[in-house]
Structure 1
Amino acid sequence: MNGWLEFTLAMAAFAGSHFVPRLRDLRGRLIALVGRRTYFSVYGLVSLAILAWIIAAAGRAPFVMLWPQEPWMRWVPNLVMPLALVLAAAGFGIRQPHTVGAKRGATFDPGNPGLAAVTRHPLLLALALWAGAHVLPNGDLAHVILFGGFAALSLAAIPLFDARARRLEGPDFFGQSAILSLRPLGCAAWWRANRRALALRAAVGLVLWAGLLHAHAMLFGVSPLPV
């Protein structure tokens, strides 16, 4: 298969997997047919398979260099990825229903917003950080499209989720949550309420980062370490 054709098909499959289920409530009908747990389990596996296909297809696409990789560029993902994975680990099951990875059946409590006080979209920000950090050291056309596209989609999803929240939530929702704010990190009461859960999630994120760092060459064929 032509390298660009495969890459285009992989990107189209990714876009289709996210938009087609929303047409005519296809997702709702499938959930009613097979159950919520089965649907999201299968959907998650399909999404991971398509993501792996996209990454492999980008590596097989014709190499068109936009800028050369300099040794210092590898420091960018190495410095950003620990934060991205801590955000991702903290974001799964967030008690804020209007975002990716929210806890099933969650409702937002303005009196105890949790991580949403720092960011109400941790998984989307984590994905944007992952993708954005990988653009600079991967200056060929296919990988710029790949990582730049993921970064753009992640950031574009934030106002869409927030627009839905404006229709369904009261003013306290936006008053006690933020797209990104460091103010809660200086609040002793916030730390008392969240430090144990945050410490556990941070540890999980750092373990994931260490594992991916060591497995990167095996999984993706290139070492992420600065040279």
Structure 2
Amino acid sequence: MSYLVIGLIIFLGAHSLRIVAGDWRDAQLARLGEMRWKGVFSLVSALGLALIIWGYGLAHVDSPVLWLAPRGIRHLAALLTLPAFILLVAAFVPGSHIQAKVGHPMVAGVKLWALAHLLANGSLADATLFGAFLVWAVASFVSLRRRDRIAGRTYPVRGWASDALVLGIGLVSWLGFAFYGHAWLIGVKPFG
């Protein structure tokens, strides 16, 4: 469990710098320059993610069960990941009504993903992993939206074609991952 926790601290800590140490982050960005800062940030994030994956794999094997999810909850959780996929795509397709309304769709998608997985998985390792991501996503979303309000930032809408693209790519990606990718990558069939 220690590798999982260390990975979460590194990964989510790096992604929380704007929330807890915005001035320090800005000073480092100015000192290093954008490219070097992004390089260091990427390396730290990759290290944290690798430790999360490895640590979760080790911890999940003999993790105590805290709760057992009822059978139907697993299907509900799998369905909750559909809007999470759509929100993830909305973060990369500019000009959608979804992005304009949500503001930070990737973080909102992480909230849904983490919540869905918390509902369906009740081991200590699951609660640690998905609970940490849920807490981070809630705090990050609140911080980002507050920063947007203070700055008066809005997100432009280009038209319904962007929304159609977001919904189409999100749905196809979710179908592929839910019915094939999740079992191949994670070893669990969400609808199996």
Equivalent position of 1:201 in the other structure: 166
The letter for the 1-side match of 2:3 is: E
Note if contact 1:94-1:115 (Cα within 8 Å) is conserved in structure 2. no
Correspondence for 1:12 among 9, 24, 37 = 9
Q: Separation in 2 of the partners of 1:48 and 1:225?
A: 30
Q: How big is the shift at 1:31?
A: 6.3
RMSD value over aligned CA atoms?
3.1
Aligned-pair identity (%): 30
Note if contact 1:114-1:194 (Cα within 8 Å) is conserved in structure 2. yes
Equivalent position of 1:150 in the other structure: 133
SS in 2 for 1:118: helix
Larger radius of gyration: 1
Q: Do structure 1's residue 127 and structure 2's residue 110 form an aligned pair?
A: yes
Structure 2: runs of 5 or more not aligned:
none
Q: How big is the shift at 1:198?
A: 0.9
Q: Do structure 1's residue 138 and structure 2's residue 121 form an aligned pair?
A: yes
Note if contact 2:182-2:189 (Cα within 8 Å) is conserved in structure 1. yes
Equivalent position of 1:80 in the other structure: 80
- TM alignment of 1:83-122, pairs within 5 A: 83-92=83-92, 94=94, 114-122=97-105
- Specify which structure has the higher proportion of helix: 2
Q: Do structure 1's residue 47 and structure 2's residue 45 form an aligned pair?
A: yes
Equivalent position of 1:162 in the other structure: 145
Structure 1 pair 44/90, CA: closer, same or farther in 2 (3 Å)? farther
Equivalent position of 1:109 in the other structure: none
Correspondence for 2:177 among 199, 212, 218 = 212
Note if contact 1:69-1:138 (Cα within 8 Å) is conserved in structure 2. yes
Q: How big is the shift at 1:58?
A: 2.2
